Structure 1
């Protein structure tokens, strides 16, 4: 599997949407792009892997770095960091919580609708489940997602989904 190590500073976006990023030279980034697939796994200073996409930004690609990651790792804008990149060959471009994988494996109809979604929407739903660490909460979110996908025949309505997630979280 293709791997590469380089040094780069943490930079700040001039945007309210995203905060920080590391710039990857196009010459380096292009080696990890396969067709439309720009997914990579990035380690900054040998820390927790970040599953990301190489996002075009002028003459470079950017990898978004969340404020929480910066805080947790004592990083600030301008810090020079070691970056390890490797191609993300996972099915979804990010790890799937075991509780959600079990639901996908057991619920044929829900899984069918999930797999008809774009890869980006799949990752969004996986992120919704995975952002909580409590397995019971993950399961509640996963059940709500599967319920919503079947109820809406695969058409995502995030307002309705959020209502269902609250309902499932309140069930005891």
Structure 2
């Protein structure tokens, strides 16, 4: 699939659910242009903000792109505001950026990398997010090492309780 951009105007809407707060509605005919089989991953830029790596989520006759409260606060966006939305198909390997420190671990640890790549794409993104949500490279490295240790120890079966214990142990080794 060739990558392209599409820009549209849309309001910020509020979900009627507590699970997610806000979203931008994308008409089905526009959203369908970005879907390739099961892959609905996109990069969404709102009012020239930092990019949001997300997915087009089916919602009745539209697709929704989730927008977090902290993102809205950071960019002074409120419910009902009409925003300029730029969509781009996310053609990256994982559907989100991977921290360099974690990529290096994957490149160097063949066994851990094998277990990681046997996980579903969603679980891979969850682990990448765990590493990437901290900005300190030493903390990223500690989390990445704990993840690789856990994957090898559990032979690729994720146990988030055990993983969290390992992450705390690795963070305390500093």
Match of 1:11 in 2: 13
Normalised TM-score (structure 2): 0.98
**What are the ranges of 5 or more consecutive residues in structure 1 without an aligned counterpart?**
none
- Aligned pair partner of 1:132 in 122, 131, 134: 134
The separation in 2 between residues aligned to 1:40 and 1:33, in whole angstroms, is 9
Q: Report the counterpart of residue 148 of structure 1 in structure 2.
A: 150
Q: How many residue pairs are counted as aligned between the two chains?
A: 172
Partner of 1:46: 48
CA deviation after TM superposition for structure 1 residue 90, in Å: 0.1
What TM-score, normalized by structure 1, do the two folds share?
0.99
1:74 alignment partner, SS class: coil
Structure 2 CA distance for aligned equivalents of residues 167 and 17 of structure 1? 31
Offset from partner CA, 1:64-116 (integer Å, 9 cap, x none):
11111011000111110000001000000000000000000000000000000
Structure 2: any 5+ residue segments left out of the alignment? none
Query: Could you say what secondary structure the match of 1:8 adopts?
Result: strand
Which residues in structure 2 correspond to 1:41-80 (within 5 Å)? 41-80=43-82
Picking from 17, 36, 39, the partner of 2:38 is: 36
Give the distance between the partners of 1:151 and 1:67, measured in 2 at CA.
37
**Aligned equivalents of 1:64 and 1:159: distance in 2?**
27
Q: CA deviation at 1:3?
A: 1.1
In 1, the alpha carbon distance for the partners of 2:57 and 2:88 equals 15
Partner of 1:121: 123
Alpha-carbon deviation of 1:35? 0.4
Secondary structure, in 3 states, of the residue corresponding to 2:80?
A: coil
Q: Which residue of 2 aligns with 1:2?
A: 4
Per the TM alignment, residue 17 of structure 1 is displaced from its structure 2 partner at its CA by: 1.1
Moved >3 Å (runs of 4+):
none
Separation (CA, whole Å) in 2 of partners of 1:104 and 1:30? 33
Do structure 1's residue 95 and structure 2's residue 92 form an aligned pair?
no
